[in-house]
């Protein structure tokens, strides 16, 4: 597609798996230059004014933004300030493109939260070097952020991620008056398993249960997490209690199919117990109500002989 045929804000390179670069500039010649420089490595998106730049940022979540300072309407500095005030956008590095060097302006830009400046006329070598450096930092920071949200042993969400998500889902479901469901899953006789088979075998069981728990959910908005030593949780927003049975049946089938021998369990096989709770959240309550109710249900499942779920 020729650049002058592309609609404003349209994706110029459609491959989604590449890192994303957004260029916000009111001069087509600059956009063209940036596009030519980076189109082979990045998905390059464009916006030709500040307002569109903000909307495009929210839509595509770019990995880096090249931002012209002087534009009609929302100028580069104003847009940068808005990006940095937005929880979901503030981690995106912004590089200003500016007409002439002015120390005072640059100091102001860095104070606004920019990571760098590029001067016009755009020098391809300098621009490439700067953008590549900042892109590399951004992608590495993303990896670290993801790792801190994952359980090291099972590679599913950890307790920290679960805590953040239950709060977020609680608020969303309260606003939309939708049911939020929680299932807490605990491995039966896990201490006995570890004592009998050893910790390496125990770790392998934790991985298999994590896989079974994850495979029980089918929607991208649901979350599977490891929330304790042998405890897992499923969070299902917009899910009434009656829809949980299908999830629970899949979970218990997955565990059965794993067919893990457990000589120290009266059942002879590794099993799990689960407690479930569903609620339409109220803003006057907090997430602990939901968690306590699921935990109480789990306790009853254990009391009633394990290898079962209780609402």
**Catalytically annotated residues:** 230
- Residues 33, 260: Cα–Cα separation, whole Å: 60
Nearer to Mg ion, 40 or 100 (CB): 100
* Contact flag: residue 78 with Mg ion (CB under 5 A): no
Least distance (Å) between residue 66 CB and Mg ion? 12
Least distance (Å) between residue 98 CB and Mg ion? 9
Contact stretch for Mg ion (CB under 5 A) within 24-32, 38-46, 52-60, 254-262? 24-32
* Contact flag: residue 74 with Mg ion (CB under 5 A): no
- Token pair in block for residue 226: 């490891």
The string of DSSP codes covering the chain is: --GGGSPTT-BSS--TTS-EEEEE-S-HHHHHHHHHHHTTTSEEEEESSHHHHHHHHHHH--SEEEEES--SSS-HHHHHHHHHTSTTTTTS-EEEEESS--HHHHHHHHHTT--EEEESSPPHHHHHHHHHHHHHHHHHHHHHHHHHTB-TTT-SB-HHHHHHHHHHHHHHHHHHT--EEEEEEEETTHHHHHHHH-HHHHHHHHHHHHHHHHHT--STT-EEEE-SSSEEEEEETT--GGGHHHHHHHHHHHHHHH--B-TTSTTSB--EEEEEEEE---TTS-HHHHHHHHHHHHHHHHHTTSSSEE-
Contact stretch for Mg ion (CB under 5 A) within 23-31, 171-179, 252-260, 288-296? 23-31
* Contact flag: residue 34 with Mg ion (CB under 5 A): no
* Contact flag: residue 116 with Mg ion (CB under 5 A): no
User: Is 109 in contact with 77 (CB distance < 8 Å)?
Assistant: yes
Nearer to Mg ion, 23 or 227 (CB): 23
* Contact flag: residue 68 with Mg ion (CB under 5 A): yes
Q: Is the peptide bond before 282 cis (omega within 30 degrees of 0)?
A: no
Nearer to Mg ion, 25 or 188 (CB): 25
Q: Tell me the number of residues near Mg ion by CB under 5 A.
A: 4
Q: Which of 9, 26, 250, 269 binds Mg ion (CB under 5 A)?
A: 26
Contact stretch for Mg ion (CB under 5 A) within 25-33, 83-91, 140-148, 151-159? 25-33
Nearer to Mg ion, 95 or 185 (CB): 95
Contact stretch for Mg ion (CB under 5 A) within 65-73, 139-147, 186-194, 297-305? 65-73
- In the window 221-260, what residues touch Mg ion (CB under 5 A)? none
* Contact flag: residue 41 with Mg ion (CB under 5 A): no
* Contact flag: residue 11 with Mg ion (CB under 5 A): no
Q: Which of 3, 60, 70, 122 binds Mg ion (CB under 5 A)?
A: 70
Least distance (Å) between residue 61 CB and Mg ion? 24
The contact set with Mg ion (CB under 5 A) reads: 26, 68, 70-71
């Amino acid at each position: 597609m020729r650049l002058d045929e592309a609609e404003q804000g349209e994706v110029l390179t459609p491959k989604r798996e590449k890192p994303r670069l957004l260029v916000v500039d009111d001069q087509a010649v600059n956009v063209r230059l940036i596009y030519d420089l980076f189109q082979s490595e990045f998905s390059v998106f464009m916006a030709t004014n500040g307002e569109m730049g903000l909307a495009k940022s929210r839509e595509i979540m770019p990995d880096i933004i090249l931002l012209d300072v002087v534009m009609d309407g929302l100028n580069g500095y104003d847009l940068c300030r808005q990006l940095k005030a937005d929880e979901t956008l503030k981690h995106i590095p912004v590089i200003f493109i500016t007409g002439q060097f002015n120390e005072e302006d640059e100091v102001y830009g860095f104070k606004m939260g920019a990571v760098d400046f590029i001067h016009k006329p755009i020098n391809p070598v300098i621009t490439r070097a700067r953008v590549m450096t900042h892109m590399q930092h951004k992608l590495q920071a993303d990896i670290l952020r993801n790792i801190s949200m994952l359980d090291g042993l099972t590679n599913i969400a950890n307790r920290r991620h679960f805590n953040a998500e239950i709060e977020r889902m609680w608020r969303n479901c309260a606003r939309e008056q939708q049911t939020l469901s929680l299932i807490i899953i605990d491995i039966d006789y896990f201490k006995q398993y570890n004592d009998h088979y050893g910790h390496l075998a125990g770790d392998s069981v934790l991985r298999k249960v994590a896989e079974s728990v994850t495979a029980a959910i089918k929607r991208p908005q649901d979350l599977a997490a490891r929330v304790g030593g042998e405890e897992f949780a499923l969070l299902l927003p917009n899910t009434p209690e009656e829809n949980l049975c299908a999830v629970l049946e899949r979970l218990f089938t997955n565990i059965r199919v794993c067919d893990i021998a457990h000589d120290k369990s009266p059942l002879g096989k590794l099993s799990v117990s689960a407690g479930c709770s569903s609620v339409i959240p109220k803003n006057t309550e907090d997430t602990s109500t939901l968690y306590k109710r699921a935990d109480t249900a789990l306790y009853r499942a254990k009391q009633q002989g394990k290898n079962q779920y209780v609402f």
